[in-house]
Structure 1
Amino acid sequence: MRRRLINSTLAVVLFVIAVFGVSLLIVETRAIERNAVDSARSDAARIVAVVEARLAAGETVTAHTMRSAVPHDRYVRVEVPDQPAFALGDEPDGGVIQARQSGSHGELVTVQQSRSVITDEVGRILVIVLVVGLVTVAAATLLAVGQARKVAAPLTDLAETAERLGSGDPRPRHRRYGVPELDRVADVLDASAERIARMLTAERRLAADASHQLRTPLTALSMRLEEIVETADSEPDAVREEAGIALAQVERLTEVVERLLTNSRDRRSDSAITFDLDEVVLQQVEEWRPAYRGAGRAIVHSGRPGLKAVGTPGAVATVLATLVENSLMHGGGTVALRTRIAGNQVVVEVADEGPGVDPELGSRVFERTVSGRNSTGLGLAVARDLAEADGGRLELLQQHPAVFALFLTRESEQPSG
């Protein structure tokens, strides 16, 4: 491409030089010939005037008396009536430029000049045109090389960017080249790179969220199955009850998977419904009670009963399960789930009696990869995302002891008729 750009530029420059050079040479040649003829005529008229003046003064017109009036590069022949003709200067060979002028006394002056004068002048003009042409070609070559490099280098760079993007490196380069068309291509490639990077980030986040969120219900399910094994022989009714709870947890596990897949496509939930908040809270209390009992701790529920919330029950259960598990792992004492009303929202608070959140972390506990005690740092971040996807929010109300609050939209009350 670079060679084609240089060749095309030089071809245009050479064509322009040829057209204008030939035109200039033709015009200058005609002008030089016209000036030479006019000069010869002028010399002839001037010499005739000198001859007439001498004749009028009664002087003899001879070659000796006229030598000072004749230019040295001219051949002049003077013919005077009743006197022998004489000539001054060297008679030119070959082509000549000639002019004749007669006077009032019958005298005749002929002026001749060799055409080599015109040829020499045209030659000088031709040399000037060639020198100017060579300088122009050299300058055009340098300009063409610079322009070719300016165009070809960005195209090569853009090709490398596209190849790197296709090989799985979505980092945008943010390079611009000062050429609007090339900058437009660079903008499109950078936008595509950023879009691919966001997609890859979303996929990685989905995988991390899925691995973390599946761990919580699987842990609860494992504990339920252990309960079933321990009571299988002595308490058949308890086995059936625990098996039913385990099945419910399997269903919730399936719902978690579907929820994560939905969030990977659309971070905003479109399956929100009105549900009984107490039912979800009590379900979590029952599911986690064996784990707390095994740890020598208790989990309790209190607050205003009969509250209705708008959201996705499975997502709310996942958020509460994350908070309860977080209290089991990092908290201490009794864990309390309290429900209350705050304006047009319902609130579920999860509090324990442990040491609380590290002061250095504060509200950063909701950031991904931020963890205070050797955990993955994903649980609270994912829980916050799930809450926001349902139109709610998850906040840390108190650090010592830790109190987390899940805010959900309250069901609008219908006016009585």
Structure 2
Amino acid sequence: MRRRLINSMLAVVLVVVAVFGISLVVIETRTIEESAYESVRSDAARLVSVVDSRLVAGEAVTAETMRSQVPEDRYVRITLPGQPAIELGERPEGGAIEGTAADPGRVRITVQQSSGTVRAEVGRTLLIILAVALIAVVAAVILAVRQARRVAAPLTDLAEAAERLGSGDPRPRHRRYGVPELDRVADVLDASAERIARMLTAERRLAADASHQLRTPLTALSMRLEEIVTAADSIEVADASPATVHGATATIREEAVVGLAQVERLTDVVQRLLTKSRDPALGSSVGFDLDEVVKQQIEEWRPAYRKAGRAIVRSGRQGLRAVGTPGAMAQVLATLIENALMHGDGAVALRTRIAGNQVVVEVTDEGPGVDPELGSRVFERTVSGHNSTGLGLAVARDLAEADGGRLELLQQHPPVFALFLSREAEEPPGH
């Protein structure tokens, strides 16, 4: 920006200097030449008057008597009737400027001046014009640099303010630069920063309030589920066979354990939201065992799949560790598994693998897949092909990206969703 401003102003100055400089050189050259011609003609006329005066006074007109009347840089030829021509000075070589004057008495005088003298004067004038042009260009460069700095520095400052605002720092700067247009941009940026700050404060307050209000009922629900698990171990049913009692107890205990795991995961997510609302810069990503999260999700959803007459299985590489928030990643997988249960068909498979420095969990089923018209838009909020809210996949992608991962649709038919997470660096031996 600054360089373009300097180049533009300098180009304008150079064009102006060139146009006026060339015009001035031409005009001055003609003026000097005309002045030289006028000078020799004037000298010739003056010498004619001097000769006439001497002739009228009866004085002799010779080279000695006329030498004092002739300038040193002139060549003069005096022609008198009936007398040899009188020559004074040296005849110029290499061109000359000539002026002639005569009177009715046939006195004729020719004056010549060397054209080199005229060229020397033209050269001196040209040097003066070039010096003035150079001074003008230097002054223009200094002025252009100052003006470019005055304009470019505020623009750079405004760009930094916009970048800082886009990176999540909504503090207004309240800087003004004395340029109405730039001050207007600064006013708009400050107003936008204040609005964004108010919106972020309101959202964080809402998240904090919601998280705080949810913690108490979740804690109570967790305690009730724990009581159900404990009571299931000691349940007795009258007039029932031991096998029936054992089966009922196992079912109750299994459902309670699954419900307790779900409550614990939801509690973890709520706690994470509460922590983020207090300090948005505080991260919660840690290294965790990916097998445990996958296994926990399969066990949690197996009763629902069994009830639907479907199967949920896993395959691929085991013993992988990833970086992220276990509760949030479990929520992402739960969203994918629930979508496969609600909108898919056949068996659902979870496959783990390594892709470079990332670990990948793929979730696929044998259903019709994603509508070709939707494609990757399935992750947009309110976009759904099955009359649902369209928030599940959008929230799941946000959770993945919050931990430095990503959620992608690798294949539409059959559907293959993939969760990419950073792989935890292995410690060197001996640690």
TM-score (norm. length: structure 2): 0.48
Whichever of the two has the greater Rg, that structure is: 1
